[in-house]
Amino acid sequence: MSADLDQPLKIVVSSEGDTVVVSLTGELDPHTVPMLADELDDAIDGGATSVALDLSGLTFIDSSGLRVVIATHRRLEESGGRLVLRAPSDTVRRLLELTGLLGHIDIV
């Protein structure tokens, strides 16, 4: 079931030790990417060096969503940090594979 039109993306931020976990439910597209980008910027600006994106509830991602994932990965990597993608659906995993990101970003 997709997220409703008023809330196409739900973001929940939590911590697991020194890792900031950002859980996504719904769709990541040009309308919702700014919400995620703001959350990730806040986490990194707040000192996070380890970020996990929990994609288990993500039903859709397009190129704008991939761009924010890549930008976050690069930003963390440049500062000695790490981005991990958790539980991507088969569709999301396939998109990561097609774009060549599968070998560059850690997936668990």
* 55-71: average pLDDT: 93
User: For 74-84, how does the pLDDT look when each residue is reduced to its tens digit (9 = 90+)?
Assistant: 999 999 999 99
Q: Give the separation between CA 13 and CA 67, rounded to whole angstroms.
A: 20
Which class is domain 9-107?
alpha beta
Q: What is the pLDDT of residues 31-55, one digit of tens each?
A: 999 999 999 999 999 999 999 999 9
DSSP characters over 8-28: SEEEEEEEETTEEEEEEEEEE
Averaged pLDDT score across all residues of the chain: 91
Where are the chain's structural domains?
A: 9-107
Q: pLDDT tens digits, residue range 82-100?
A: 999 999 988 888 888 888 8
- Bridge partners (DSSP) of residue 107 are 85
How far is 81 from 94, CA to CA, in rounded Å?
A: 25
Q: What is the pLDDT of residues 5-28, one digit of tens each?
A: 566 899 999 999 999 999 999 999
Whole-number Å distance between alpha carbons of 48 and 97: 27
